[in-house]
């Protein structure tokens, strides 16, 4: 059966076979379009099932006073085939990444684990923009990270993190089911009670916000546990 546009009878809109499936069109997609969409959908599924969308935290140190919140997307899997497919898709989309292989556990028979990470504002924005239409369970995290990136791009120079940017970081960690790190929390409290903190306002503000976030994360986990 041949379909026309209803106005110009010699213009073919589509053609069907006996099972009524369209097999041709006057406006076909470019060669390889659907294969590419499938590859991106599979990458998005891998991020949802075996990955993480978050904002990493780098506290100030004795040699680096400036703390940082860094958006990132990571994937971890023991299947070499699956990770190779993910790498090929990222390369095809022009998205940079870091990659390393580790031994999962110790002793005889342990598997190799492959860790893939996309970090930095530009690269993280690239991958999230690419996979966002295919995300489901981690779509909110992706949207929050993209909001964070947009906010930092609009901020002046190395401006301190805003309350909204800390709120985004906290909300993402809640969605990811993260709990506070006791060792990091203890270090933060020690620093806040030290005289050194008075000489480094940026570091002091970072640790103060971190302590507030840890308290909120623990409260959220307790709420979920007893709900």
Whole-angstrom CA distances from 48 to 100, 203, 209 are 20, 33, 28
The two structure tokens encoding residue 176:
């990811």
pLDDT at 156: 79
Lowest mean pLDDT among 69-73, 86-90, 157-161, 186-190: 157-161
Q: Say if CB 217 and CB 174 are below 8 A apart.
A: yes
Contacts of 176-179 with C-beta under 8 Å, sequence gap 24+, read 176/52, 176/54, 176/141, 177/221, 178/217, 179/217, 179/218, 179/221
Residue 27, pLDDT score:
54
Coil, helix or strand at residue 45: helix
The CATH number of domain 31-159 is 3.30.540.10: no
Q: Which residues pair with 57 in a beta bridge?
A: 69
Cβ neighbors of 68 (< 8 A, separation 6 or more) are 57, 58
Of 132, 134, 163, the closest CA to residue 69 belongs to 163
The pLDDT score that the predictor gives to residue 24 is 46
CB atoms within 10 A of CB 150: 11
How much is the average pLDDT of 39-65?
88
Among residues of the chain, what percentage have pLDDT more than 70? 82
Rounded alpha-carbon distances, angstroms, from residue 189 to 43, 59, 174: 40, 13, 21
Nearest to 132 by CA among 172, 189, 73, 181: 73
Taking only the tens place, the pLDDT of each residue in 201-219 is 888 899 999 999 999 998 8
Q: What is the pLDDT of residues 26-38, one digit of tens each?
A: 556 787 888 999 9
Tens digits of per-residue pLDDT, 62-118?
Answer: 656 678 899 999 999 999 999 999 999 999 999 999 999 887 666 666 778 899 999
Mean pLDDT of the chain: 84
Query: pLDDT above 90 covers what percent of the chain?
Result: 54
């Amino acid at each position: 059966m041949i379909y026309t546009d209803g106005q110009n009878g010699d213009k073919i809109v589509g053609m069907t076979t006996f099972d009524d499936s369209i097999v041709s069109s006057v406006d076909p997609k470019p060669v390889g379009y659907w294969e590419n969409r499938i590859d991106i959908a599979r990458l998005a599924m891998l991020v949802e099932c075996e990955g993480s969308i978050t904002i990493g935290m780098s506290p100030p140190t004795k040699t680096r006073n400036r703390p940082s919140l860094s958006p990132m997307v990571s994937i971890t899997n023991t299947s070499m085939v699956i990770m190779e497919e993910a790498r090929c898709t990222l390369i095809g989309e022009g998205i940079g990444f870091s990659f390393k292989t580790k031994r999962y556990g110790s002793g005889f028979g342990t598997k190799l684990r492959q860790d893939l990470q996309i970090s930095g504002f530009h690269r993280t924005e690239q991958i999230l923009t690419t996979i966002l239409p295919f995300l489901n369970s981690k779509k909110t995290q992706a949207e929050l990270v993209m909001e964070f990136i947009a906010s930092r791009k609009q901020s002046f120079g190395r401006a301190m993190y805003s309350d909204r940017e800390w709120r985004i970081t906290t909300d993402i960690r809640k969605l990811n089911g993260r709990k506070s790190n006791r060792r990091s929390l203890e270090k933060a409290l020690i620093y806040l009670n030290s005289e050194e903190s008075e000489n480094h306002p940026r570091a002091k503000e970072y640790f103060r916000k971190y302590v507030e976030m840890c308290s909120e994360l623990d409260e959220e986990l307790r709420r979920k546990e007893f709900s």
